[in-house]
Chain A
Amino acid sequence: MQASDFKSDQYVRFCPGCGDHAICMALQKAMAQIGIPTHKVAVISGIGCSSRMPHYLNTYGFNTIHGRGGAVATGVKTSHPELTVWQMSGDGDCLAIGGNHFIHEIRRNVDLNVCMFNNRIYGLTKGQYSPTSPKGFVSKSSPFGTVERPFVPGQLVLGAGGTFFARTLDVDVPTTVDCLVAAQQHKGCSIVECLVNCVIFNNGTHAWIADREQRAEHSIIVKHGEKMLFGKDNDKGLAVEIDPVTFVPKMIVVPADDPRVLTHDATQPDPTLHRLIALMGPDNDLPVALGVIRNVEAETYDQAVNAQIAEVRSKSKAKSFDELTQTLETFER
């Protein structure tokens, strides 16, 4: 299949220069690479710039209401596990108004592929701060700067018991495609945080890594089974150091040839290291991790629900309404 098979006839209305264009292209490429026919794919969204995505994909799509994409997608996938279900959402839709559905789809491990577009701003409502805006962020609704702490989405995903977490960047289309394909291949709730630029209201929010000059020094693309190396000449590596007094582990940068350099294990069930990797960034002077950070196997909700129904049904004598009413204590007349 070709990426063009997944393009709808709709004119793409993201602002010129918006990071969502790149994710849209990456989605079409990834869907073609996955190769599931368009009629077996459902793309569900809430409200926000990112939630316009279903209109541009030639699959089944449903652009629902603010924050509820996760619940609608859970209904689609659980009732019809044979479908491939994607959810398109943003940092506001997913982490603020839809926060409850977000943590519960992760907790239940519903087999969904969730793209969470994080531009750290509310775009469609024209520039208010979001749950991922940094503390002190000045916006129309925070003219003196925000006083609240932001979420680190990866930490939230892991806290909710997430089985898959990847992070990608709008300008890095190959990594985005890799993450989206891996999300589809993973059975369970796959969260892909897409760092996107909002050219109108929050231009340059991810410049620390998006800037070509700095990207190699400020980010690392983690790959399962590979050494965690980064830097212009791959001259740096990442290791874990445990504080001898507090026993608190932390990530440190070491030379590439240091024997302590970690080999990334995305399949490790214990989330401790995945959390440390997800938390890396300018705040702790570490490179931002891109790629698949966590990818573990666990039973999915949709399979478990359907398996339980099948099991009860295989053992039950009554399988139809008329048989069910025969179990009643009645009198005849």
Chain B
Amino acid sequence: MEKCAHACVYQKNVVILCRILKNSYFSMKNIVVRFCGDSGDGMQLTGNLFSSLSAILGHEISTLPDFPAEIRAPQGTIGGVSGFQVQLGSGVYTPGDKADIIVAMNAAALKVSAMNKHYHDHAILIVDTDSLTDKDLEKALYKTDNPFTELGIPESVQIVPVALTTLTKEALKDSGLDNKSMLKSRNMFALGLIFWLFDLPMDKAIHLLEDKFKKKPALIEPNTKVMVDGYNYGQNLALSVNQIRLEESRAKSQESKAEHGRFTSIAGNKATAWGLIAAAEKAGKHLFLGSYPITPATDILHELAARKDMNVMAIQAEDEIAGVCTAIGAAFAGDLACTTTSGPGLSLKSEAIGLAVMAELPLVVVDVQRGGPSTGLPTKTEQTDLLQALYGRNGECPAVVLAASSSANCFDFAYEACKIALENMTPVILLTDTYLANGTGLWRVPTLAELPEIHPQSVPEELKGHFNPALRDERGVRYWAFPGMEGFEHRNIGLERDAEKGTISTNPENHEKMVLARKHKIEQIADSIPELKVIKSEGSKLNADTLLVGWGSTEGHLHAAANELGCDLAQFNYIAPLPKNTHEVLRAYKRIIVCELNTGQFAAYLRAHFPDLPIEQYNEIQGQPFAVERIVAYASK
């Protein structure tokens, strides 16, 4: 402790505690805050509480949880650092490339954030001075006893040293808690301090905290006490940092009529689960989930397992294959059936998805992509399952592929996936990823009435008594009859079936006919999906003949980059089939840059479809979302 204070003196940029000039606010459009600490320090909880409160107060938010794969790496080590970044304000597209305010709960977090340049040169760095002892520095592999100099933290960074540990213990000295329990609340002191910095109303913060700990009521009082003390610490001792007041967000302003309504913050996985729930109710179908735990998709299983009140049947199967196969069984029996997984699980499900294609049953497969191949980077984000989703099955095996592009619109595309599956008797693969799944965004809460109608495929009554599973409607979509319906008994198969009779067939011409029938069925879906709309730059038109192209979760980063570049953006949510006007839209641009978090899978797909277009590609494969500045730098070349 002493040594650290000593170390701080050598830093010219250390901010000395002094009285603040009251009413001195620093007004900003948006700001990036990052919390980092040991994985046991509760950084995800802290970040979530802060972003939830910000969203409830009407700010746009975008979050990036960044945690290690290990549940608990040794305390205080670099491998155990867990981070949570959020951008809030208005015109928020991404969690931000770099933080404006960073809270480092220990020496390892301080080191990791400095080494990875997680913050700007003019950032405010709040650091727990109690966690910079010799022992702490040793655990985090520092070579000297002056961490700030050793890390080369620029002088322009405002360092705010706070004795978080001492102050937390002081706050809880009358609580009767033991030392270990007291230390668990350190994060709440930091959170209270940040709430003060943003001048946020404490009554709402306390309410949120009570809600969070409602199942552990004993924790409410000490955590509230520490949080309020953190707030008061900022207020009374007055850090010489200006408070920040965010301008009204777009969602809160009255400019746009479409954005009126009730808003909340939602994580992508929860939004996905709720999209499935809404679709089932709208379609009048029973929702069935067959799933197996896999990072980062498991939260969808958690949410649906908890939603028995919504009549959801969520089965934790014995393996990934059983997850999809139980769902196929439920679909055969007439349910809205889903399975949720991540890349390795999608590989295991391939054969069964082929069965659903062949048996022409509705099935929703959610693939929350993570870094691959094999076990890869389980907690990191990547867009590397695109080709697997499109082609990763034996035989000519077309399925619908959709991709959500924000945490909030995971709801819309989960809903859309169900609608397409039920109306077209086909598997639909919905691609999200770690970034969308764990990140949160502002969601306008819809009512069921305003969501699109869903008309599940059925069977005309006149086919009673002579039904077979090959009979199709005028769109080429097979009719759906299921057990319990008298007079429609039939045998479905994964073997090739006769195009007329629906029974097993090995006839050569029939096979070709059936392959084309299944292909046509997917292609005709393009008639009922929205056309591709280009997002126009909100800034200059400096690069008006350039088009950035992306798909799925990169929308926020590409939108921000397009605004900076003064160019347009085409972001795809419908991948197979592609929107009908895709070629028409793309060919209007001289320069088309397809940006993806893989080696160019969508670029290759577009080239195969449109060999006449000059497709350029920009790729990053680092397990992280894009940085806007890197896209801008590339496209400016």
Contact = CB atoms under 8 A, between A and B. Distances in A.
Interface of A: 8, 10, 37-42, 44, 54-55, 58-65, 68, 71-80, 82-83, 100-101, 104, 305-306, 308-309, 312-313, 316, 318-322, 324-325, 328-333
Given A61-B491, A329-B211, A333-B261, A74 B313 contact: no
Interface string B290-327: 10000000000000000111111101011101100111
12 contacts: A42-B333, A62-B359, A62-B492, A72-B329, A80-B333, A312-B308, A320-B281, A320-B448, A321-B277, A331-B55, A333-B251, A333-B260
A325 B319 CA distance: 32
Nearest to B262: A330
Contacts of B485: 39
A57 B351 CA distance: 26
A101 to B, nearest CB: 6
A80 B259 contact: no
B231 to A, nearest CB: 20
A332 B332 contact: no
A-B pairs with the 5 shortest C-beta distances? Answer: A75-B329, A75-B326, A71-B325, A316-B309, A312-B308
Nearest to B490: A60
B493 A329 contact: no
Contacts of B491: 8, 10, 54-55, 60-63
Contacts of B52: 329
Contact of A321 (B321, B327, B351, B448): B448
Interface string B333-350: 111010000000000000
B495 interface: yes
Contacts of A55: 491, 503-504
Nearest to B208: A329
A329 B264 CA distance: 7
Contact of A319 (B259, B310, B354): B310
Nearest to B204: A329
Contacts of B201: none
Given A75-B290, A78-B313, 20 more contacts: A40-B484, A60-B490, A61-B490, A61-B492, A62-B329, A63-B492, A72-B329, A74-B322, A75-B330, A76-B329, A79-B330, A79-B335, A83-B333, A312-B308, A319-B310, A321-B310, A322-B448, A325-B445, A329-B56, A330-B262
B447 interface: yes
A320 B277 CA distance: 9
A311 B58 CA distance: 37
B142 interface: no
Q: B326, B329, B330, B482: which has the most chain A beta carbons within 10 Å?
A: B329
A306 B332 CA distance: 18
A61 B359 CA distance: 12
Nearest to A9: B503
Nearest to A66: B351
B57 interface: yes
Given A65-B352, A68-B321, A75 B333 contact: yes
The interface centre, meaning the residue of B252, B486, B493 with most chain A CB atoms within 10 A of its CB, is B493
Contacts of A8: 491
Contacts of B274: 321, 324
Given A79-B313, A321-B278, A330-B263, A38 B251 contact: no
A8 B493 CA distance: 15
B56 A39 contact: no
B328 A63 contact: no
B523 interface: no
Given A8-B491, A331-B262, A308 B277 contact: no
A44 B492 CA distance: 10
A279 to B, nearest CB: 26
A312 B310 CA distance: 9
Contacts of A59: 489
A162 to B, nearest CB: 16
B189 interface: no
B330 A76 contact: yes
Interface residues of B, number: 72
A272 B334 CA distance: 41
Contacts of A58: 489
B373 interface: no
B332 A72 contact: yes
Contacts of B329: 44, 62, 71-77, 79
A60 B482 contact: yes
Contacts of A78: 313, 315, 326, 330
Interface of B: 52, 55-58, 208, 211, 251-252, 254, 259-264, 274, 277-278, 281, 286, 288, 290, 307-313, 315, 317-319, 321-322, 325-330, 332-335, 337, 351-352, 354-355, 359, 445-448, 482-495, 503-504
A330 B264 contact: yes
A302 to B, nearest CB: 10
Contacts of A41: 483
A137 B58 CA distance: 73
B447 A60 contact: no
A324 B277 contact: yes
Given A104-B322, A324-B310, A72 B328 contact: yes
A278 to B, nearest CB: 24
A71 B489 contact: no
B487 A64 contact: no
Contacts of A42: 332-333, 483
A305 B504 contact: no
Contacts of B310: 318-321, 324
Contacts of A306: 313
A308 B277 CA distance: 18
A333 B277 contact: no
A42 B491 CA distance: 9
B483 A75 contact: no
Contact of A333 (B252, B278, B326, B327): B252
Contacts of A83: 333, 483-484
A79 B333 contact: yes
A322 B325 CA distance: 31
B333 to A, nearest CB: 4
Contact of A40 (B312, B355, B483): B483
A30 to B, nearest CB: 18
A52 to B, nearest CB: 9
Nearest to B361: A62
A319 B307 CA distance: 9
Nearest to A104: B318
Contacts of B251: 333
A111 to B, nearest CB: 14
A328 B290 contact: no
B288 A75 contact: yes
A76 B322 contact: no
A257 B558 CA distance: 88
Contacts of A316: 308-309
A68 B448 CA distance: 36
A71 B483 contact: no
B447 A330 contact: no
Nearest to A11: B503
B319 to A, nearest CB: 6
Contact of B495 (A60, A63, A312): A63
Given A61-B491, A78-B313, A68 B325 contact: yes
A304 B260 CA distance: 43
Nearest to B280: A321
A148 to B, nearest CB: 23
